[in-house]
Each structure stands twice: as structure tokens, then as C-alpha cells.
Amino acid sequence: MKISIFGKTFNQGFIPYINELMKILHENHAEISVYKPFYDFICCETGKEPQGCRNFSDLSDFDNTCDLMISIGGDGTFLESIPFVIRQNVAIIGINSGRLGFLSNISKENITDAFNSIFAGQYNLEYRTLICFKQPADLFNGMNFALNDITVKSDSSLITIDAYINDEFLNTYWTDGLIISTPTGSTAYSLSVGGPIVVPGSDNLIIAPISSHNLTVRPLIIPDNNTISLRVNSRSGQYTVTSDNRTLHLNHQEMLRIGKSEYKLKLLRLPNTSFYATLRDKLKWGEDVRN
């Protein structure tokens, strides 16, 4: 099996787990390729080079014939790894080296059991919807897609956003910004502004205002085959757009059109794991947290 590894940093306490991962990959004769900055970080932190590993630095030298991408870190690192795999339809799974992680859902204590299952072929593939800027399509140097959300936000003061669904006027938002979220992203930024949790695979998008100046304006769920058009008016003439962890500052009044991407993320799902179990675990549902 060809396996690529993407990561950024980890703390000293994670060193035994990175060694455990490399050990089980070598025992199963995996062909390993590691993101070069992460490879250099591992060498610095552990004092030794991972054996039998190739490197990749960007999309031009990424092995698009690999079978699996492993993201090591939190959800932010997971999102950064997506451009390497999305156009090649490479499966991805995340190891959580930090605290909260909805996307990176293999705990460091479960690395051996998880990869024993993977090498035994005991896993499922789950496809997650992405959204993208359909107009202008050249934003973010072509990386105009998002697994979690696309946002339009004020740089400083209040902005107004005229929103349309399939060219039918929806509302003028007086707000600090808007979040257009996928079901996957419903547990991210959208959740923090009062948006609903939506189960992946529901074929929906969420429109959630950020600090709306009209308290009757609430998050809205729409089918994901709709196109959302936004025209932003800002006192400064500038505003910010994001696509997951990528950010741009714009100063034009062009209509932004957002819809479902042609790409889907191939997510590797281990046995006995589910979205509902992740919710209970990460959000501490059913637990008395007062003590």
C-alpha cells in the first residue's frame, strides 16, 4: 500500500505515537511518502530520520497514485491536506495529535488498532460534499473549494449582503458576515454562531449569519443543488472571503456565486465509528460536566 503523510507540528508527548505509526507502516511493507516540512520537523524533534520514506513538497511532486493520505494534527491540518488528494480521488484519514477533532478522528492511543484494521481491509469509504466559488472561479489560485465552509466577512465595520437562491432574492443581511457551510462544516464555524448540526450525506447547505443586526434572521438550510449568490456592500469597499483555511481580501462588488463542487472527499471510516458517536464523544453529550 502506498501511503502519504501530511502534518505540521506536534508536541514532545506525541513522539512515541509517531514512532508507533512508522513501525506499523513498515511492518506492513507500506511505501511511505512524507510532506517535506513535516519530515524535517520529525527529524528535528526525534533526532533521527524516518527510515525508508520519500518526500513531497507540493502538488507537483505528490504521488497521485498513492492509496491513502494520513493527516496528523487537528482539523486545521486535515483541511490543509485536502488539496493534495481531492483532484486525485485519494482516500484520507486523520490522526488527532491535539484536542478536539471531528475530522481527525483516530486518537493517538488507537493508532495500532486502527491501522491493523486498515491493512486487513476492515474499513468503509464515505464521500463528503464540498462547496466552491463558481464565480469568480479563479479565487485562491484555483483552490476555490471547501470541505467545511465558505465565509464572507467584514474587515472592520458592518456590511450588507444581498443574498439570492437560484437568482431569486432571499434577504439583505445586515451583519458581520455570512457562513455557507456543508454538513461536514456544520460542527465547525457554523455551530459557533448558532447553526444547526447537519448529518453528512443530507445533501444540504447551511446559510448562517454572523452577529446579525436583525434578531429574527436565523440560519437557513437549503438543498445543495441550489446556487447561492451574494453581493457585498461595505463602507470601506473591502471585505474578506475564506474557503476553509484560505483567506483573501477583496475590494470589488462582483457577484459571488457559491454552490456544490464537482469534487467529493473520499474519507476512510473505521469499523464501529460513526458521526453520532463522534458527536457524543467530542461534544460530551450525556455527560455531567459540572464536576
Catalytic residue numbers read 75
Residue 138 three-state SS: coil
Long-range contacts (CB closer than 8 Å, 24 or more residues apart) made by 124-127: 124/268, 124/269, 124/270, 124/271, 125/91, 125/266, 125/267, 125/268, 125/269, 126/200, 126/201, 126/266, 126/267, 126/268, 126/269, 127/264, 127/265, 127/266, 127/267
CA distances from 241 to 11, 51, 74, 178 (A): 32, 41, 22, 10
Dihedral angle sign, alpha carbons of residues 277, 91, 7, 190: negative
DSSP per position, 9-37: ---GGGHHHHHHHHHHHHHTT-EEEEEHH
DSSP code, position 108: G
- For residue 107, how many C-alpha atoms fall within 13 Å in the half-sphere facing its CB? 8
Grid cell digits, residue 61:
511532486
Q: How many residues does the chain have?
A: 291
Smallest CA-to-CA distance from 88 within 72, 118, 74, 68 is with 68
Element (DSSP H or E) covering residue 3: strand 2-7
Question: How far is residue 248's CA from residue 256's CA, in Å, rounded to a whole number?
Answer: 13
Output DSSP code: residue 87: G
Residues 6 or more apart in contact with residue 215 via CB below 8 angstroms: none
